Structure 1
Amino acid sequence: MANPTSEHLHTKPTSRPIIATVILFGGLAVLVLSIGLSILYGAADIDFITIWHSLTQFDPSSTSHQIIRGLRIPRALAAALIGAGLAMSGTLMQGMTRNPLASPSIMGVTAGSSFMMAIALVVMPQASNFIMMLWAFVGAGIGVVIVFGIGSISKTGLTPVKLALAGTAVTALLSSLSNAIAIHFNVAKDISFWYAGGVSSVQWMHVQILAPVLLIGFVIALLLANSITVLNLGDDVAKGLGQRTFFVKFTGTLVVLLLTGAAVSVAGTIGFIGLVIPHITRFLVGVDYRWIVPCSAVLGALLLVIADTASRMINPPFETPVGTVTALVGVPFFLYLARREGRGM
């Protein structure tokens, strides 16, 4: 009797390198254009010539130049970095768990980070960005442990829908606790930023923190990419092919916590990028994670930059929280996936 896994692999293409190459280079070109548009549009009316002069002939006395160099450029770059990080986090989570509903926002990662950020605002309100990022990392780890622990309390073990339900419940619990802390200790105004999600207050120091974290996470994710592709064949098959499944999953989880913790510490809770982008990427480039990881990073960066720009244009001169914009895309997609996976329960 033929091996169904082998038959599946031989009858369907595992990767589409030509499409992936187009996405990488074409996506990067569109990303640069989107960053330019993000710098161009905002509350202040600034034209392209002014942007060019601020880069080539910076005038410290010019308010427009200060806005461009001090606010809009770091904001656009941070949006790209955060979008890439969240997309790669979702890609790794879905690949390691073979759960199409896995993402940082659904699996309790971002809720755990926000919960610990609420505690940090109470315990050490004047803490540095680096210390706040450490608190976010710890919270991300707590969220993951709780979700997987609850999802495992079943005779049939973990399933995609059980993980999604556990993640939804834990997210609601941690959000409620965060709200209680915020109200009791009078830090509701500060913590509301983390729930809304956004990059409006990003400065260059945040970009300087995000860039090396993203680079480290990206390199490790690429090193794990081939092993994660093998993991998608099943743990037994992966072990038979010589993969150290525990090491791969443990290392991948650390990368997820690193990327998500950094993103949440800077931008707060921005959901659904880690859910939607990995699915779109796999649909376009196939199942080879050596292509999925870099392509998801590019598409995630592009989505958040566009969402951030749109958040400024929906109701000018006021800004709509960028998390609301991403939710408009992500919620229908999540419901579709939940319904599709629910048929297999």
Structure 2
Amino acid sequence: MTPRFVAMGAVLVLAFALAIALGDQRFTADQIRLALTEPGAGPAYIEKILWDLRLPRASLAVLVGAALAVAGTVSQSIMRNALAEPGILGINAGAALAALLVIVQWQTVSETLLPWLTFAGACVMSAAIYGLAWQQGTTALRIILIGVGLSALAGAGASFISTFGDITSVQRAMVWLAGTLQDSRWAKVEILAIWLLLPVALVWLFARELNLMAIGDDVAKGLGQRVNMTRGLLILATAAISGAAVAAAGLIAFVGLAAPHIARSIVGQRHEALLPAAALCGAIMVVAADIVARRLMPPAQLPVGLMTGLLGAPFFGWLLWKRRND
């Protein structure tokens, strides 16, 4: 198991190194090493580009990718559905609707406040899904179907706001909703890291519970698990993780769907290994997608959400084909 994690960590380090090395300005390895290890010893413009632009962008990509992957892993486990992830369940739609409402109507909002507002949107959506799905308990199928319906409703609300909002604010919101890392700064990295600490720790503590839930509700109940309460807590944690990722970078599609499947093929089903493996896979995916988004049509920088969508759509189709007889 350890060599596999070492290999994934090495791939992430390589992707991170490429993310800070590649750009409109090309730097040699010596220039990068000097700027990172001996500030003030080299040209000031190199240090500024690396420390103020590329490093925070790559760091934010790592955190966002890991967050989306963990949220996707939890969603698939508690729903026992290979196609489940916060975007499909509607949790991300609630977070995005709240953020769009704030951006278009308020136009300016504190970076420390936006994660709380998107978390509130995700929580309201999660509570609505869970409440409407409750019938002497919950089932994964009801939660998924209601989540899809409420996601469509949130999308309609977002379209309404976009239609009648200020055009400048709407354009800014649309760029953000496409999934972008262009406004990456150390303040965002710090806020996202702090915000993710508690819900990710909660998910990690519930790794054994996730193993039981992935088997089935009846088995979990037979082994003493309070299934409905556990599912509710994990949905709340997923809402917090997804809301923070959406606040930081907008809607980045398919990472929460694909990363857990890739991680399972590497480390297996047990969540003690699956959660960190999925986080590594998600971080690699977003960092790599951002490199492609920056370098595909220079000097224009495409939204990273566009690249993950283009890469993820074929994966989604392959997954559906693979499970056609299930």
User: TM over 0.5, yes or no?
Assistant: yes
> What is the alpha-carbon distance in structure 2 between the residues aligned to residue 121 and residue 38 of structure 1?
29
Q: Which residue among 102, 110, 117 is the counterpart of 2:84?
A: 102
Say whether residues 1:276 and 2:265 are aligned partners: no
Alignment CA distance shift 1:205-1:221 (3 Å): same
Residue 94 of structure 2 contacts residue 151 of structure 2 at CA under 8 Å; is this kept in 1? Answer: yes
**Residues 182-204 of structure 1 deviation map (CA, whole Å, 9 limit, x = unaligned):** 33121212211232102111100
Residue 104 of structure 2 contacts residue 173 of structure 2 at CA under 8 Å; is this kept in 1? Answer: no
**Residues 61-98 of structure 1 deviation map (CA, whole Å, 9 limit, x = unaligned):** 72221111001000001100110000000000111111
How far apart are 1:108 and its partner, in Å?
1.2
Alignment CA distance shift 1:241-1:168 (3 Å): closer
Alignment CA distance shift 1:122-1:318 (3 Å): closer
Number of aligned pairs?
321
Say whether residues 1:35 and 2:35 are aligned partners: no
Match of 1:185 in 2: 165
Q: Which runs of 5+ in 1 are unaligned?
A: 1-17
Say whether residues 1:131 and 2:117 are aligned partners: no
Residue pairs, 1:66-105, within 5 angstroms: 66-105=48-87
> What is the alpha-carbon distance in structure 2 between the residues aligned to residue 84 and residue 223 of structure 1?
17
Residue 110 of structure 1 contacts residue 264 of structure 1 at CA under 8 Å; is this kept in 2? Answer: yes
How far apart are 1:271 and its partner, in Å?
0.8
Residue pairs, 1:137-156, within 5 angstroms: 137-147=119-129, 152=133
Alignment CA distance shift 1:159-1:257 (3 Å): closer
Residue 104 of structure 1 contacts residue 110 of structure 1 at CA under 8 Å; is this kept in 2? Answer: yes
**Residues 256-278 of structure 1 deviation map (CA, whole Å, 9 limit, x = unaligned):** 11111111001000011000111
Amino acid at match of 2:162: A
Alignment CA distance shift 1:271-1:87 (3 Å): same
> What is the alpha-carbon distance in structure 1 between the residues aligned to residue 235 and residue 282 of structure 2?
19
Give secondary structure in 2 for the equivalent of 1:312.
helix
Give secondary structure in 1 for the equivalent of 2:88.
coil
Q: Which residue among 26, 30, 39 is the counterpart of 1:58?
A: 39
Amino acid at match of 1:71: L
Q: Which runs of 5+ in 2 are unaligned?
A: none
Alignment CA distance shift 1:234-1:165 (3 Å): closer
> Under a length normalisation based on structure 1, what TM-score does the superposition of the two structures give?
0.85
Q: Which residue among 288, 291, 294 is the counterpart of 1:306?
A: 288
Residue 81 of structure 1 contacts residue 211 of structure 1 at CA under 8 Å; is this kept in 2? Answer: yes
> Under a length normalisation based on structure 2, what TM-score does the superposition of the two structures give?
0.90
> What is the alpha-carbon distance in structure 2 between the residues aligned to residue 149 and residue 331 of structure 1?
31
Q: Sequence identity of aligned pairs in percent?
A: 33
How far apart are 1:100 and its partner, in Å?
1.2
> What is the alpha-carbon distance in structure 2 between the residues aligned to residue 271 and residue 200 of structure 1?
17
Q: Which residue among 1, 19, 25 is the counterpart of 2:6?
A: 25
Alignment CA distance shift 1:158-1:219 (3 Å): closer
